[in-house]
Chains A and B, each alone.
With several copies, the nearest count.
Chain A
Amino acid sequence: MANATLTPDARVSSGEFDLPPSAWVEAYRTMVLARAMDERCLSLQRQGRIGFYVPLEGQEAAQVGCALALDPKDWVFPAYRELGVALVRGVPIQELLDQFIGNSGDRLKGRQMPNHYGYRAQNFVVASSPLGTQIPQAVGAALAARRRGDAVVTVAFFGDGSTSTNDFHAGLNFAGVYRSPTIFFCQNNQWAISMPRSHQTMSATLAEKAEAYGFGGVVVDGTDLGQVYRAVATARARALAGDGPTLIEAQVYRFGPHSTSDDPKRYRSDAEVAEWRRRDPLLRTKEEIMKTPGWTEAQDTALWTEARSRIAEAWKAAEGTPPLPPTSFLDDVFSERTPQLEHQRRELLGLLERKVVHE
């Protein structure tokens, strides 16, 4: 797929929606931070200090470019790989690392595996594992926003594999019928675990699936920050103008394993990875920035150092944060505890007291 023909949409090439030059360095800083998180978390997982990790390496430009084109009011419906989006939205890395451990600092209270997070303050809806479910949800939220008169778009993030799910079909169809102000942002990273894009579905592009629902799809080079930004900014403007949803297929590549449970050597060649690595979004973005007068290698190095030390510091704090109170897993099933849950809570307290179970 490295040679896939990209079909830039006419609208996308217009200058109106370009990422302002001033934003590039900030974007790059976030991409570096994301990459450094991958680096650190993969190593933490190998050391058994976190249980699981999903790297985003290779998809940074797509995520950062997309997120930068959004307004803080917009609602993000992520899958589990959207670290770059979370960082742009301003989710503190402290929150993320606390979530990875599931300690008492975890806003999600240790309910979910690493990477399955969500932060209301950042309009970053809580991710789940079942694939595709966020897609019709994003449509519903967009319709709700429109009903409230809010100038808000919603963005559903998902992968190439997730276009095969029930929810993709339901979500895009509802979006078409109600012209919901939603952006469907598909990161086609060429693989769904071991299933290559070419066997996932026989349409020539994923973007063209939008036509089956009566709206437009565009393919963008997801390693090109500016191109992604433009496509999303355009789609957002269209959505707010009442022109309905857009499906954006960002062609990228997952450089690393699907997750720390995965061994990609079982199903793909090093050569394929190497070829895509030449289009590493960080290299491409750096090249752009290097054109800025006055930008030096030293500044680049400083970005990396800064990123790594911020992560190290946050990790230290996370490890030092106490565990969750033991009965906390019985909370938040409902707004208030039912008598059954109250009973089970007392049961658990009794077991703890009698040292049948231990924190």
Chain B
Amino acid sequence: MTELTLVQAVNRGLAEAMRQDADVLLLGEDIGTNGGVFRATEGLQKEFGAERVIDTPLSECGIVGTAIGMALYGLKPVAEIQFLDFIYPAFDQIVSELSKFRYRSGGQYPCHVVVRAPYGGGIRGGLYHSQSTEAFFCHTAGLKVVIPSTPADAKGLLLTAIHDEDPVMFLEPKRIYRSVTGEVPDGDYRIPFGKARIAREGTDLTLVAYGAMMVPTLAAAERLAEDGLSAEVIDLRTLVPLDEAALLASVEKTGRLVIVHEAARTAGFGAEIAALVAEKALYSLKAPILRVTGYDTPFPYALEHLYLPSEERILDAARQVGRTG
């Protein structure tokens, strides 16, 4: 066990995987000499060489397209997209190719690429260094979508991702890259996909969140406890596959649900969670399902503190739900 920041845990996860398996290699912009603009790949080119930690030209299309070709041949590429906001030049390769290779070939061509990208707001990054568009990938059949919220999860989920056989979108909450630290097991360990983490047990209402939003959500749960409201907090960890069982079990117990994400509200992943519950646990519900989310605007710069869900906003929604029904 070592105390690490989240971004250090990512770094250790990458190093661990590369030590284990010579087929694992990294490619992306500024990941080699520079160690990544967030230092997620710091030191790796030194340890593993420029053939395995590959600085690429400025083309996300090229990064993902090339990674796909490597994966088809049998390597295990991990592609870094510098910011999730810059993934769109590669969107065709991800949505049309990566997610569909296995399917369209009738299983002949598995295509296992891990695409890592820092996502989310709260770092004063404005429109193009803040977005949280995980819903795009969740809606694309054939992609697994992983979002860790603690250093231990970041490493354990990343190792699972790299050893998985399917394409994985691994979205890293850059806002808490350094602000969240925790004990991280040394060496190899895997956190399974599709198992949510019950970050806090409770009986009165359920709060569902993931990634950087776990911080204000847990803080809100703490405050609710002071009010005498016992909140269960679920950290989804993987959006695809989704731990429906944990979600439904919690709502069946509490009857009240608040969903938190920083992405825009309309057609965000919170809608899917609400829809599942409205189908499968409707009769348990004692109050309307509330979503505390980003607004339906592009991500703003100067007023991002108003755009982003905060502890206070989550608390407010939870109290509303807690009082109702």
Could you list which residues of chain A lie within 8 angstroms of chain B, going by C-beta atoms?
51-52, 75, 77, 101-103, 106-113, 116, 118-120, 125-126, 128-131, 133, 135-145, 147-148, 154, 161-162, 164-167, 169-171, 173-174, 177, 192-195, 199-201, 261-262, 266-267, 323-324, 326, 328-335, 338-341, 344, 348, 351, 354, 356-357, 359
A111 to B106, Cβ gap below 8 A? yes
Find chain A residues with CB under 8 A from B86 CB.
129-131
A147 to B166 alpha-carbon distance, docked (Å): 22
A113 to B297, Cβ gap below 8 A? no
A126 to B126, Cβ gap below 8 A? no
B128 to A195, Cβ gap below 8 A? no
A207 to B99 alpha-carbon distance, docked (Å): 32
B69 to A334, Cβ gap below 8 A? no
A193 to B62 alpha-carbon distance, docked (Å): 18
Among the listed B92, B142, B242, which residue makes an inter-chain contact with A130, where contact means beta carbons less than 8 Å apart? B92
* 14 residue pairs A–B, Cβ–Cβ below 8 Å: A106-B106, A109-B302, A126-B105, A128-B104, A139-B69, A140-B68, A140-B70, A141-B70, A148-B74, A154-B69, A161-B57, A328-B303, A332-B106, A351-B316
Given A111-B126, A267-B34, A333-B142: A165 in contact with B65 (beta carbons within 8 A): no
B70 to A143, Cβ gap below 8 A? yes
Find chain B residues with CB under 8 A from A323 CB.
302
Given A118-B109, A143-B70: A126 in contact with B29 (beta carbons within 8 A): no
Find chain B residues with CB under 8 A from A170 CB.
59, 61-62, 65
Given A148-B73, A329-B300, A357-B313: A199 in contact with B55 (beta carbons within 8 A): yes
A351 to B106 alpha-carbon distance, docked (Å): 24
B245 to A339, Cβ gap below 8 A? yes
B66 to A143, Cβ gap below 8 A? yes
A133 to B33, Cβ gap below 8 A? no
B55 to A129, Cβ gap below 8 A? no
**Contact bitstring B298-313, A, C-beta under 8 A = 1, else 0:** 1011110111001011
A166 to B303, Cβ gap below 8 A? no
In the complex, what's the smallest C-beta–C-beta distance from B247 to chain A, in angstroms?
Answer: 11
Q: Which residue of B lies closest to A50 (CB)?
A: B124
Find chain A residues with CB under 8 A from B72 CB.
125, 137, 140-141, 144
A103 to B302, Cβ gap below 8 A? yes
Given A165-B58, A267-B33: A344 in contact with B109 (beta carbons within 8 A): no
Among the listed A125, A192, A332, which residue makes an inter-chain contact with B58, where contact means beta carbons less than 8 Å apart? A192
B97 to A133, Cβ gap below 8 A? yes
Find chain A residues with CB under 8 A from B35 CB.
266
Q: Which residue of A lies closest to B86 (CB)?
A: A130
Could you list which residues of chain B lie within 8 angstroms of chain A, going by C-beta atoms?
25, 29-30, 32-35, 37, 51, 55-59, 61-62, 64-75, 77, 85-86, 88-89, 92-93, 96-97, 100-110, 124-129, 141-142, 144, 164-166, 194, 240-242, 244-245, 265-266, 295-298, 300-303, 305-307, 310, 312-313, 315-316
Number of interchain pairs (Cβ within 8 Å): 283
A165 to B89, Cβ gap below 8 A? yes
Among the listed A75, A119, A147, A340, which residue makes an inter-chain contact with B266, where contact means beta carbons less than 8 Å apart? A340
Find chain B residues with CB under 8 A from A359 CB.
306
Among the listed A120, A136, A164, which residue makes an inter-chain contact with B93, where contact means beta carbons less than 8 Å apart? A136
In the complex, what's the smallest C-beta–C-beta distance from B104 to chain A, in angstroms?
Answer: 5
Q: Which residue of A lies closest to B126 (CB)?
A: A113
Given A136-B61, A170-B62: A130 in contact with B312 (beta carbons within 8 A): no
A-B pairs, top 4 by smallest CB distance, nearest first, are A140-B69, A136-B65, A110-B302, A102-B302
B302 to A106, Cβ gap below 8 A? yes
B244 to A333, Cβ gap below 8 A? no
B106 to A109, Cβ gap below 8 A? yes
Among the listed A75, A173, A335, which residue makes an inter-chain contact with B73, where contact means beta carbons less than 8 Å apart? A75
Find chain B residues with CB under 8 A from A334 CB.
102, 142, 144, 165-166
A266 to B34, Cβ gap below 8 A? yes
A126 to B58, Cβ gap below 8 A? no
Find chain B residues with CB under 8 A from A335 CB.
102, 110, 164-166
B74 to A166, Cβ gap below 8 A? no
A137 to B68, Cβ gap below 8 A? yes
A141 to B30 alpha-carbon distance, docked (Å): 22
Q: Which residue of B lies closest to A109 (CB)?
A: B106
In the complex, what's the smallest C-beta–C-beta distance from B90 to chain A, in angstroms?
Answer: 9
| Candidate in A129, A170, A328 with the most chain B CB atoms within 10 angstroms | A170
B104 to A200, Cβ gap below 8 A? no
